[in-house]
């Protein structure tokens, strides 16, 4: 007799494990299958986010920022530190410990919520009556186990996109995994792609002392961000010693050298051929959905031309009782977007099983916050000025610099600003864009405001603690009506 579940979730990243916990909370008999193994070959829940993404990169960003501050910023406070040095293996092992705590934490959460956890690679089989029950084969080193489930949620995430010019070896040519596991500081570091990973990883190693060169194919820097923020960020980053960002480059050739280096040949923005020699090269040119070996082709689950599983607003695929969430479907490749989709699908399955007649939840991409953990940080929610212009929406702008914020000055982190975009006709907030200290935290207030359809006046009328960084958002909201107080 095969083990049978109400819901099988394939993938235990932030989309899958959150869906599993929510399914179990709603009383569904739930199994979560995941194949991830850590460097020691042990099962490790949490997917890319916990193992080689969001969490470890933040750990290293914090360590490198502390080192950088001790070298360059403490002296402004009258603190001098002689002989500061970095022990990279200690830094990496601190990061690894944080990762292990959280991946083990998911195993505990599964136990607490009575989610069955199976390690191995899941393959959906075309067997039996799939409208009643799906058959899933799970393979790992120890053997094959077959289970059944009525509903299946695919949450298999994404993998780094490779350049056809050279394969990732995580020795000299690194993806995010390799970039988080270097055991010494490379003297010269090249990064292909000035996206989120390129900028964050470039920041880590630059702050530790690497000479970093970032090569970006697009003509403008950070094209997804509001261009005023992107231009200001570009100016600030390029002033940093040890960092060069080149846009509009065309990478022609990448080869490893006998002297343990890497040479990148490219055409620069002025159409001149260039050669860059580095010790390590990070390739961060986007990610591709991970559906390989899952059996989706056999089951006729529709995918688009880029390999994403096609789903409707509620994350339903074209196949009965099969859903997909997170990086493997359309929308931003962000952990929090994946988790929210996981929760929405869990609640929909529960409603179906309980025969509840109600509208299902779906994730509103317009209120999904974006954060880039550079220094200063960048964060935004909603539409950029460029999007509003192209959609012909008239809007008002309110802006306020961190320079005029007392808390930011006290922190010694006064670069950047907050910008609020509000509808010119009804004052509803359409977008909020930030660059500056801790904006990864500040953006939440803007998300709440937008989720509740607030106007800029609503934000302007709310009392903000003084002195706090949040006063910058308050002042930007006041500035929409040209009544900022401290500028
Ligand atoms: P990305 O899509 O953010 O950036 C990739 C960059 O590479 C783009 O600017 C693109 O124009 C450039 N590029 C592509 N091909 C190129 C080529 N041949 N030569 C030079 N440049 C080229 O992708 P990234 O940084 O790899 O991150 C992957 C995903 O992970 C993203 O969707 C991101 O949202 C997510 N992520 C989110 C984080 C966060 O929320 N803080 C942190 C890390 C990753």
* Both structure tokens of 167: 């394969």
Give residues with Cβ within 8 angstroms of 125, minimum separation 6: 134, 135, 136, 137, 146, 295
Beta bridge partners of 158: 289
> Got the DSSP string for 107-120?
HHHHHHHT-EEEES
Assess contact for 155 and 149: CB atoms under 8 A.
no
Please give the distance, rounded to the nearest whole angstrom, from the Cα atom of residue 251 to the centre of ligand 1.
16
Cα 392 to the center of its chain, rounded Å: 30
Q: What is the pTM of this model?
A: 0.96
Assess contact for 344 and 360: CB atoms under 8 A.
yes
Catalytic annotation, pick one of 433, 466, 474, 486: 466
Please give the distance, rounded to the nearest whole angstrom, from the Cα atom of residue 62 to the centre of ligand 1.
21
User: What pLDDT is recorded for position 78?
Assistant: 96
Candidates 193, 223, 447: which one to mutate for ligand 1, based on the most atoms within 8 Å of Cβ?
A: 193
Q: What is the DSSP letter of 128?
A: S
Beta bridge partners of 32: 9, 117
Query: With a 6 A CB cut-off, is 192 part of the ligand 1 pocket?
Result: yes
**Catalytic status, residue 119:** no
CA–CA separation, 434 and 444 (whole Å): 11
CA–CA separation, 276 and 266 (whole Å): 8
CA–CA separation, 200 and 204 (whole Å): 6
> Got the DSSP string for 232-247?
HHHHHHHHSTTEEEE-
Per-residue pLDDT of the chain in tens (487 residues, 90 and over written 9): 789 999 999 999 999 999 999 999 999 999 999 999 999 999 999 999 999 999 999 999 999 999 999 999 999 999 999 989 999 999 999 999 999 999 999 999 999 999 999 999 999 998 877 777 899 999 999 999 999 999 999 999 999 999 999 999 999 999 999 999 999 999 999 999 999 999 999 999 999 999 999 999 999 999 999 999 999 999 999 999 999 999 999 999 999 998 889 999 999 999 999 999 999 999 999 999 999 889 888 888 999 999 999 999 999 999 999 999 999 999 999 999 999 999 999 999 999 999 998 889 889 999 999 999 999 999 999 999 999 999 999 999 999 999 999 999 999 999 999 999 999 999 999 999 999 999 999 999 999 999 999 999 999 999 999 999 999 999 999 999 999 999 9
Domains and CATH numbers, the chain: 3-159+288-353 (3.50.50.60), 173-285 (3.50.50.60), 369-480 (3.30.390.30)
Candidates 53, 214, 222, 286: which one to mutate for ligand 1, based on the most atoms within 8 Å of Cβ?
A: 286
Residue nearest to atom 34 of ligand 1 (CA): 333
Give residues with Cβ within 8 angstroms of 351, minimum separation 6: 358, 360
């Amino acid at each position: 007799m095969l083990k049978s579940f109400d819901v099988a979730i394939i993938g235990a990243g932030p989309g899958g494990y959150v869906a599993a916990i929510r399914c179990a909370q709603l009383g569904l008999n739930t199994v979560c299958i995941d194949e991830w193994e850590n460097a020691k070959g042990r099962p490790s829940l949490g997917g890319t986010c916990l193992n080689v993404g969001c969490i470890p990169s933040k750990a290293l960003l914090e360590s490198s920022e502390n080192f950088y501050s001790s070298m360059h910023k403490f002296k402004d406070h009258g603190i001098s530190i002689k002989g500061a040095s970095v022990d990279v293996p200690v830094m990496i092992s601190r990061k690894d410990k944080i990762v292990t705590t959280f991946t083990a934490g998911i195993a505990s959460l599964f136990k607490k919520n009575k989610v069955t956890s199976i390690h191995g690679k899941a393959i959906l089989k075309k067997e039996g009556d799939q409208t009643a029950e799906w058959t899933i084969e799970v393979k790992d080193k120890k053997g094959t186990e077959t289970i059944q489930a009525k509903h299946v949620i695919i949450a298999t995430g994404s993998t780094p996109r490779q350049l056809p010019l050279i394969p990732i070896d995580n020795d000299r040519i690194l993806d995010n995994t390799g970039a988080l596991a270097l055991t010494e500081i490379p003297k010269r570091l090249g990064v292909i792609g000035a996206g989120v990973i390129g900028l964050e990883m470039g920041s880590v190693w630059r702050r530790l002392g690497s000479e970093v060169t970032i090569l970006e194919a697009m003509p403008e820097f950070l094209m997804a961000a509001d261009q005023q923020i992107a231009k200001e960020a570009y100016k600030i980053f390029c002033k940093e010693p040890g960092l060069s960002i080149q846009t509009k480059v065309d990478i022609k050739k990448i080869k490893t050298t006998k002297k343990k280096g890497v040479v990148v040949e490219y055409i620069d923005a002025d159409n001149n051929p260039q050669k860059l020699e580095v010790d390590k090269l990070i390739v961060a040119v986007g990610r591709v959905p991970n559906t390989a070996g899952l059996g989706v082709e056999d089951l006729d689950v529709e995918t688009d031309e880029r390999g994403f599983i096609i789903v409707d607003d509620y994350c339903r695929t074209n196949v009965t009782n099969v859903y997909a969430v997170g990086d493997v479907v359309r929308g931003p490749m962000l952990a929090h977007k994946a988790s929210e989709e996981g929760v929405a699908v869990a609640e929909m399955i529960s409603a179906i099983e309980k025969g509840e007649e109600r509208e299902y939840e779906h994730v509103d991409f317009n209120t999904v916050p974006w954060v880039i953990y550079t220094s200063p940080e960048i964060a935004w929610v909603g539409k950029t000025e460029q999007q509003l212009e192209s959609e012909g929406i008239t809007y008002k702008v309110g802006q306020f610099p961190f320079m005029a914020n007392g808390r930011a000055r006290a922190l010694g982190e006064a670069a950047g600003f907050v910008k609020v975009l509000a509808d010119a006709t009804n004052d509803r907030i359409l977008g909020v864009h930030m660059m500056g200290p801790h904006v990864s935290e500040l953006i939440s207030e803007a998300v709440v405001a937008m989720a509740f359809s607030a106007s800029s006046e609503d934000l302007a009328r709310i009392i903000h603690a003084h002195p706090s960084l949040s006063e910058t958002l308050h002042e930007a909201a006041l500035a929409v009506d040209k009544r900022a107080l401290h500028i």
